[in-house]
Amino acid sequence: MRKHLKRYIPDHEVVRSNRWLAMFGDTLLHPRLWHLNRHSAAGAVAVGLFCGLIPGPLQMLGAAILSVIFRVNLPLALVSTLYTNPLTIVPLYFVAYQIGKLFFPGEGEFVEPPDFDWHALGAWFGAMTDWMIGLGKPLALGLPILATLLAISGWFLVWSAWRIYLIRAWHRRKRT
């Protein structure tokens, strides 16, 4: 599994020579941010799934910061945030709103989200922000709860899948 994922991870020298990343020095070159094993992969997916629900374009920044703090695989955490996009964000926020409504049953009323428009992307982001603010407390509480549930599920799924893969590889080696 590691061999397949390593093809997509940039080399340390590429990171070191990048003029935008050079200011972060050794922080981004910590070996645990680039090492790929069961624990770093599961943690990275958990970080990415958690940060994927951060509103706006701050998802990858949040994933990068949490990757540095928790010392999990940085590229995998960044890629894991990509499950949210203009097509999936509204259903995810609806689920988060419904979770929040369990705790605030009398708060707010769900209104239809704004229609997505490729030609007026800036206006759509503004309309989405207004829509999210209008949903109030249920969405504000539902988002971190859903993000936490997704992160825990993602961590467990990756950790288990990697473990199953290792056990099968051990059994194959034992048979030969």
Q: What is the pLDDT of residues 18-67, one digit of tens each?
A: 666 655 666 666 778 888 889 999 999 999 999 999 987 789 999 999 99
Amino acid 132: pLDDT: 75
DSSP H or E run through 35: none
| Confidence band for 136, pLDDT divided at 50, 70 and 90 | confident
94, 110 in Cβ contact below 8 A? yes
- pLDDT value at 106 more than 80: no
**DSSP symbols for 102-139:** HH-TTS----PPPPP-GGGHHHHHHHHHHHHHHHHHHH
What are the backbone angles phi and psi of residue 111, rounded to the nearest 5°?
-115, 160
Of the candidates 7, 8, 1, the one whose C-alpha atom is nearest the C-alpha of residue 82 is 8
Amino acid 1: pLDDT: 57
Amino acid 59: pLDDT: 93
Q: Kindly state the tokens that stand for 153.
A: 């599920």
What are the backbone angles phi and psi of residue 112, rounded to the nearest 5°?
-65, 140
Of the candidates 4, 63, 65, 77, the one whose C-alpha atom is nearest the C-alpha of residue 34 is 77
> Which residue did the predictor score with more confidence, 11 or 147?
147
- pLDDT value at 114 more than 90: no
- pLDDT value at 116 more than 80: no
Percent of the chain with pLDDT over 90: 47
Q: How far apart are CA 46 and CA 155, in angstroms?
A: 5
| Confidence band for 3, pLDDT divided at 50, 70 and 90 | low
Candidate from 14-23, 49-58, 76-85, 121-130 with smallest mean pLDDT:
14-23
